Amino acid sequence: MALSGLHLLLTYRCTCACDHCFVWGSPQATATMSIGQVRAVLDAAVRLGTVTDIYFEGGEPFLAYPLLLAGAREAVARGLQFGVVTNAYWATGEEDAALWLEPLAALGIADLSLSEDRFHGDLPSPGVRYATAAARRLGLAPGVLRVDLGPDCSAGGVRLRGRAAHRLAGRVRLQAWDGFAACPYEDLADPSRVHIDAAGYVHLCQGLAMGRAPAGDVDAVVAAYRPAEHPIVAPLLAGGPAALVREYALEHEAAYGDACHLCYHAREQLRPRFPQFLGPGQMYGEGLGADGRRRGCLRTLVIGYGNPSRRDDGVALHVVNALRARWGQAPLGPSHDGWDDLAGTRDTLFLQQLTPELAETLAGYDRVVFVDAALPEAQEAVRTVAVAPALRMAAVSHHMEPAALLALAQQLYGHAPAGWLVSVRGYDMDFGEALSPQAAAAVPQAAARVLALVETSQAAPGDGHAAA
């Protein structure tokens, strides 16, 4: 593979929240790269030996202007040329636009791309007009990026992935799902450029990663990439989004607006199974909707944990199975812990204990409800508390607390779901599998608490965490 370009998504934050946005950019989006990450990616670009172009994109990269300038300086110092893609919100007049552009021009910016179309707002955009004039005065030759839906009610130049899949698919002519038998836009087997974000995802296509490089070592991810072994890329190469749907027997509609629309719908369902390749949550609109509010179809994971061989210590298994019965699912047990059917909007797991590996899975959900057994000294038969991320790891144990697990998901994968803990008081932790009468009596109450959270609660604004 001979990558020629690395595109850095400096921040997902944006002044706009355009309907056609692939990356769910918005004023409420948060993840922003650090200068250390930018440097590490640029070092990887040099090690790759084939990269000539660095692009700074977003979101809106001018919202991270000091980082943009520092990154451009570092790229030039490594002998790489750089470009920037921006919506020109900062160009409030020609003279002001020049103030923003002069430092970039002095660094020899090779490409300045300005986005302007009816999804971004006013057309023609005054910002793009001022930025174009200022850039020309500085000897630059800016380009303008414009996309629109097709005049024949086709998706036209818009790709129906990201927010576009949710906002624009209803406005285009649909075609039978099984006709989308190839990825028409990306060379997934031999890409010429990839995008890298603050969570370290190395994107082949927005939200579809060849792998993750949290430390910026993109070259290692590229070296390890085997398209034919990648769980999402392999079916896409074999037969496009339709093959991806068939491979995993996914739910689908009869018709879609374009190949990306079907692909994105399939990937949304697969994200909990393959969070290392399908992420971060930002790319799937998890956490924030187009206007900063949470959207519908929140994805919830209920994790019961404890030891079912110590009577009431395993009460969470009974709570989880009460929920599964209500949702028409087979009960979990010794040979079925729930891992095999994680792909819905209400998933369940039962585990002996919480371990760090769970963080990756959690990052694929909007909400998580932990269910455990409390000690006999507990005050209440059933207690519910909200859990906020907090890194507290036991010094000599692989076991983790819910708060630490959320913090790990946030730190490693850029997203932690809103969390709650429902604890059921145990009375008898001796060897055996039968619950004490008191614990058994509390199971319906605990299940009702979880249902109340899953079916009626709204996560808090922002990242959705309430204080524990």
Give the interface with ligand SF4 as residue ranges (CB under 6 A): 14, 16-18, 21, 23, 25, 58-60, 87, 115, 120, 159, 161, 183, 185-186, 205, 208, 236, 241, 259-260, 263-264
For 65, other C-beta atoms within 10 Å of its C-beta total 14
Which stretches does DSSP call E strand in 352-437?
367-374, 382-387, 418-425
Nearer CB in complex with ligand SF4: 222/290: 290
Q: How many helices (H) and strands (E) does the chain have?
A: 12, 15
Nearer CB in complex with ligand SF4: 270/368: 270
Nearer CB in complex with ligand SF4: 240/464: 240
Residue 63's nearest CA partner among 108, 111, 134, 10 is: 10
- Greatest pairwise CA separation for the chain in angstroms: 82
| Nearest distance in Å: CB 228, ligand SF4 | 16
| Nearest distance in Å: CB 159, ligand SF4 | 6
Nearer CB in complex with ligand SF4: 158/315: 158
| Nearest distance in Å: CB 116, ligand SF4 | 10
Q: Is the separation of the CB atoms in 130 and 92 below 8 Å?
A: yes
Is the bond preceding 124 in cis, omega lying within 30 degrees of 0? yes
| Nearest distance in Å: CB 261, ligand SF4 | 8
Nearer CB in complex with ligand SF4: 27/214: 27
Radius of gyration for the alpha carbons in the chain, expressed in angstroms and rounded: 24
Nearer CB in complex with ligand SF4: 188/319: 188
Mention every residue, 6+ apart, whose C-beta is less than 8 A from residue 377: none
| Nearest distance in Å: CB 200, ligand SF4 | 19
| Nearest distance in Å: CB 197, ligand SF4 | 12
Residue found by looking up tokens 């706009």 in the block? 16
Q: Is the separation of the CB atoms in 444 and 319 below 8 Å?
A: no
Exposed e or buried b for every residue in 265-288, given b needs 16+ CB within 10 A? Answer: bbbbbbbbbbbbbbbbbbbbbbbb
Residue 436: left (phi > 0), alpha (psi -120 to 50), or beta?
A: beta
One-character DSSP codes across 314-355: GHHHHHHHHHHHHTT-PPPBTTB-SGGG--SSEEEEEESS--
| Nearest distance in Å: CB 206, ligand SF4 | 7
Which three-class secondary structure state does DSSP give residue 64? helix
Nearer CB in complex with ligand SF4: 19/337: 19
| Nearest distance in Å: CB 186, ligand SF4 | 4
Nearer CB in complex with ligand SF4: 121/331: 121
Nearer CB in complex with ligand SF4: 259/319: 259
Nearer CB in complex with ligand SF4: 154/329: 154
Q: Kindly tell me the burial class for residue 103, based on how many C-beta atoms sit within 10 Å of its own C-beta (0-12, 13-18, 19 or more).
A: middle
Angle at 310 between CA 305 and CA 314, to 5 degrees: 30
| Nearest distance in Å: CB 404, ligand SF4 | 33
Tokens, residue 404: 């630490």
Pairing of strands 367-374, 418-425: parallel
| Nearest distance in Å: CB 363, ligand SF4 | 20
For residue 386, the 8-state DSSP code is E
